[in-house]
């Protein structure tokens, strides 16, 4: 059976990168197998955070899941902290993971290693992520390109645990997006577009940005000094990024031929702005309706948490048994 798991951590307002790399693709697979999607709020505690903002972002992210078209009758939607099994399994996997391999994680090196005030949980973060995935015996994990190394660790831990204690976990496959798996910042196309950018960052498109804001951000995107429109992420990263975004929005995987249709940066930018606005419009409409009704969103999350706990319980029981706990 196809089992899909993925999550988004509520550390900032979601961006176009989150949508093209992940969220939109959750909706695409939801009727094809068992699908479990979580707002992974425990992960948001690994960096400096404010409690009230975290709670608001968790609600906003869950509402965006629904606004993006996730159907709570077809998939399981829940808040990670409502299902304590994640933290429990994470500990068992910490006893399978090595300090050395966690120390080498790129995100840890960039965000915390060697800095005062780095939380222990930032180091162990990828183990909790592995627990999220392995708890459901997920076969497939739709994520953006930046999660590749974390996925690799989840696979390594599954294999290592299974070898040491007997087969408990399914080894998951990463399911990257065909195009726009790594959307870059419009002002600095060598850096990924991140929801943790400052709220008013001009190179970061948020899913809830009104159309005029989206248009302004796209029209001001940095390109380069050439004039030919071509798809070349190395030589022309700003233009390449716009073509990726356009391809992602309109569903055109052949980016070279997409680039060939343009003779000027101006017309490319206009089409990118139109395509992003058109993609976001129905989502924003649904978000506006749902935001008036937080009780419904909360009820969906609670029901989802019950179902998620039911699904994960047999795995954790088997893992405890295998590792030498329980009777
Ligand atoms: P997070 O919250 O940073 O991002 C959520 C999802 O969005 C993707 N993404 C992008 N895709 C394309 N271009 C971008 N610029 C871009 N920025 C973000 C991410 O790859 C991700 O798919 N560790 C995860 C959360 C997590 C998780 C999990 C994911 C925790 N447990 C289990 C999958 C399965 C993270 O920080 O994603």
Residues 142, 260 share a domain: no
Helix, strand or coil for residue 167? Answer: coil
Compute, in angstroms, the gap from residue 147 CA to the centroid of ligand 1: 6
Task: Find the CATH number of the domain harbouring 126.
Answer: 3.40.50.620
Non-local (6+) Cβ contacts of 112 within 8 A are 47, 118, 119, 122, 123
Establish whether this prediction's ipTM goes over 0.90.
yes
Task: Find the CATH number of the domain harbouring 250.
Answer: 1.10.240.10
Whether the CB of 161 sits within 6 Å of ligand 1: no
Residues 158, 126 share a domain: yes
| Residue positions counted in the chain | 327
CA distance 135 to 284: 32
Compute, in angstroms, the gap from residue 292 CA to the centroid of ligand 1: 27
CA distance 70 to 217: 28
* Domain range for 240: 211-288
Query: Do 315 and 168 meet the contact criterion of CB atoms below 8 Å apart?
Result: yes
Residue nearest to atom 19 of ligand 1 (CA): 144
Structural domains counted in the chain: 2
Residue ranges with strand state E in 110-249? 140-143, 173-176
Residues 65, 171 share a domain: yes
Residues 280, 226 share a domain: yes
CA distance 207 to 68: 10
Residues 157, 27 share a domain: yes
Is 194 a domain residue? no
Distances (CA, A) of 171 to 4, 127, 140: 12, 14, 9
Is 186 a domain residue? no
Whether the CB of 147 sits within 6 Å of ligand 1: yes
Per-residue DSSP letter, 166: -
Residues 88, 71 share a domain: yes
CA distance 182 to 175: 13
Whether the CB of 176 sits within 6 Å of ligand 1: no
Is 201 a domain residue? no
Is 149 a domain residue? yes
Is 184 a domain residue? no
Q: Is 18 among the annotated ligand-binding positions? A: yes
In DSSP terms, which residues pair with 216 in a beta bridge?
Answer: none
In this prediction the pTM is: 0.97
Residues 310, 282 share a domain: no
CA distance 191 to 88: 35
Is 192 a domain residue? no
Tens-binned pLDDT, residue by residue, of the chain (327 aa): 899 999 999 999 999 999 999 999 999 999 999 999 999 999 999 999 999 999 999 999 999 999 999 999 999 999 999 999 999 999 999 999 999 999 999 999 998 888 999 999 999 999 999 999 999 999 999 999 999 999 999 999 999 999 999 999 999 999 999 999 999 999 999 999 999 999 999 999 999 999 999 999 999 999 987 778 999 998 899 999 999 999 999 999 999 999 999 999 999 999 999 999 999 999 999 999 999 998 999 999 999 999 999 999 999 999 999 999 987
Non-local (6+) Cβ contacts of 205 within 8 A are 15, 16, 186, 193, 214, 217, 218, 276
């Amino acid at each position: 059976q196809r089992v899909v798991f993925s999550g988004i951590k509520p550390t900032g307002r979601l961006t176009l990168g989150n949508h093209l790399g992940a969220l939109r693709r959750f909706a695409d697979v939801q009727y094809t197998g068992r699908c479990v999607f979580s707002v992974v709020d425990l992960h948001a505690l690994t960096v400096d955070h404010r409690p009230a903002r975290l709670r608001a972002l968790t609600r906003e992210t869950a509402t965006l899941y629904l606004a993006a078209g996730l159907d709570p009758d077809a998939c399981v939607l829940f808040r990670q902290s409502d299902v304590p099994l994640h933290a429990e399994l994470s500990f068992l996997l910490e006893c399978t993971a090595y300090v050395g391999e966690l120390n080498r994680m790129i995100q840890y090196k960039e965000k915390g290693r060697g800095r005062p005030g780095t939380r222990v949980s930032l180091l162990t973060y990828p183990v909790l992520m592995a627990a999220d995935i392995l708890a459901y015996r997920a076969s497939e994990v739709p994520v953006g390109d930046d999660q590749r190394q974390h996925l690799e660790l989840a696979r390594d831990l599954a294999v290592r645990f299974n070898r040491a204690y007997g087969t408990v976990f399914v080894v998951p496959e990463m399911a990257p997006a065909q195009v726009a798996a790594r959307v870059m910042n419009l002002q600095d196309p060598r850096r990924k577009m991140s929801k943790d950018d400052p709220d008013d960052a001009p190179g970061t498109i948020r899913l809830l940005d009104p159309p005029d804001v989206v248009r302004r951000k796209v029209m001001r995107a940095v390109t380069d000094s050439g004039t030919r429109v071509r798809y070349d992420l190395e030589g022309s990263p700003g233009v390449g990024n716009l073509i990726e975004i356009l391809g992602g929005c309109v569903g055109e995987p052949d980016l070279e031929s997409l680039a060939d249709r343009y003779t000027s940066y101006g017309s490319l930018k206009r089409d990118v702005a139109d395509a992003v606005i058109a993609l976001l419009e129905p989502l924003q409409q649904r978000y506006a309706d749902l935001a008036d009704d937080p009780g419904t969103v909360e009820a969906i999350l609670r029901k989802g948490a019950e179902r998620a706990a039911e699904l994960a319980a047999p795995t954790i029981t088997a893992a405890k048994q295998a590792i030498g706990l329980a009777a």
